[in-house]
Homo-oligomer: A and B are copies of this chain.
Amino acid sequence: MGQRSETVRRANLAAIVRELHLRGPQSRSELVARTGLTRTAIRALIGELVAGDLLVEERGSRDGAPGRPSALVRPRSDEIMVLALEANVDSLAAALVGLGGEVLAHARMPRPREHVTVDEIVADLAGLVKTLPLPPDDRPIGIGVAVAGVVRRSDGMVLTAPNLGWRDVPLATRIAAGLRTNRPVHVGNDADLGAIAELRRGAARGADDLLFINGEVGVGGGIIVDGQPLTGVAGFAGEVGHMPVNPNGRGCHCGSVGCWETEIGERALLRLAGRAEDGGFDEVEAVLAAAAAGDEPALDALTEIGRWLGIGLAGMVNLLNPRVIVLGGLFARAFPFIDRALDRELDRMALRGPRGLVRVAPADLGIDAPLFGAAELALEPFLADPAGWLGPRAQLATAAGA
């Protein structure tokens, strides 16, 4: 009996904290409505969480709503925070992110596109972290890392990261050593984490079935089904860049032929625009600038990318029946130039039923989607059981009848 009511208490504490983390500050009445708990239970649980420094309750004047403003409960982003890191092909990034998703500090540095050792990347990331205004104590409760590679979540092993030249790199262990921390380090694939971030804080808020397509040199994907990441048997799911779409197409670095990536990736765009295929980020920006200025060859190249993007998306719409498709990276930047061709192919090639239900949108979070997803990953153990973070103070307050 004591055992069971303790389980229920912890689950209820978790429900309240997750609700505030995902939807932002709310009044007690809103929490009653959202969680289905009684007003009395909410009062007691919030008391405990406030005493434990996880939440704060404050008079709020909500944006223009009539009547007496009711007190808002908000997450203590200054007390519960994580460190988010990202290693992608063009840049490294670090951020300090608080409970509720508040970005407390943020830094990004470009990096040259070449194969580097994990030691170099870890050293650069550690340097980047040092530039952040971290609190003096060892406050971040965990570290999340987004990486452009295939990741085994259980132990943070990067099985392969073609664009970094890595294979079987124990990234979680290396990061922990490099940052001299004993906090847990969680590693995820950048597109998978971008999908989570867009779902929770970006273009797919409120949706449960999401496809996130991230376009850079490679094309990665994150699939969310019923609110949960689809990982497959071993975390390999979402390798959308390597769907065959053109059996008479070009060879792909993966060894196959006609992969989607060979038709829609950065190299395809540069080739179509008559530029050097390995021109990189700057050349892509030049194509986009030319298109914005009305340059026909640039516009045609982008239309062709949009067309192939639509062909591949049509297959995934028929296969997965998603609510939202979020386009990130290159596709977000190019969205105004590709969306019409993309829509046309979706109309032509996707089945009427699922086509009618899906919305295509550019990523809200831009290049930072994977980084913010890494923060969500690092917060997950806390969100699953915040009671574990309640200190002696809270227990004292509870015992005193708070």
Residues of chain B within 8 A of A348, CB atoms compared: 255-257
The interface residues of chain B lying within 8 Å CB-to-CB of A244 are 245, 311-312, 314-315, 349
Known: A1-B1, A247-B311. A257 touches B318 (CB 8 A): no
CB distance from A364 to the nearest CB of B (A): 20
Task: Name A319's contact: one of B221, B235, B247, B248 (CB within 8 Å).
Answer: B221
Contact with B along A230-255 (1 / 0, CB 8 A): 11111111111011111110000011
Copies of the polypeptide in the assembly = 2
A353 within 8 A of B: yes
Residues of B within 8 A of A208 (CB): 233
Q: Mark A158-198, 1 if CB is under 8 A from B, else 0.
A: 01100000000000000000000000000000000000000
Once the chains bind, are B243 and A318 in contact (CB under 8 Å)?
yes
Is the C-beta of A24 less than 8 angstroms from some C-beta in chain B?
no
A88 within 8 Å of B by Cβ? no
Q: How far is the CA of A215 from the CA of B350 in the complex (A)?
A: 20
Question: Which one, A64-72, A100-108, A320-328, is touching chain B?
Answer: A320-328
Q: Does A141 contact B (CB under 8 A)?
A: no
In angstroms, Cα B254 to Cα A353, docked, is 11
**Which B residues are CB-close (under 8 A) to A150?**
353
B234, B240, B311, B321: the one contacting A318 at CB < 8 Å is: B240
CA distance A47 to B316 in the complex (A): 49
Residue among B221, B318, B322, B358 making CB contact with A242, cutoff 8 Å? B318
> Which A residues, 290 to 320, have Cβ-Cβ distances below 8 Å to chain B?
311-312, 314-316, 318-320
Q: A residues bordering B, Cβ < 8 Å?
A: 1, 4, 150, 159-160, 208-209, 221, 223, 225, 230-240, 242-248, 254-257, 311-312, 314-316, 318-323, 348-351, 353-354, 357-358
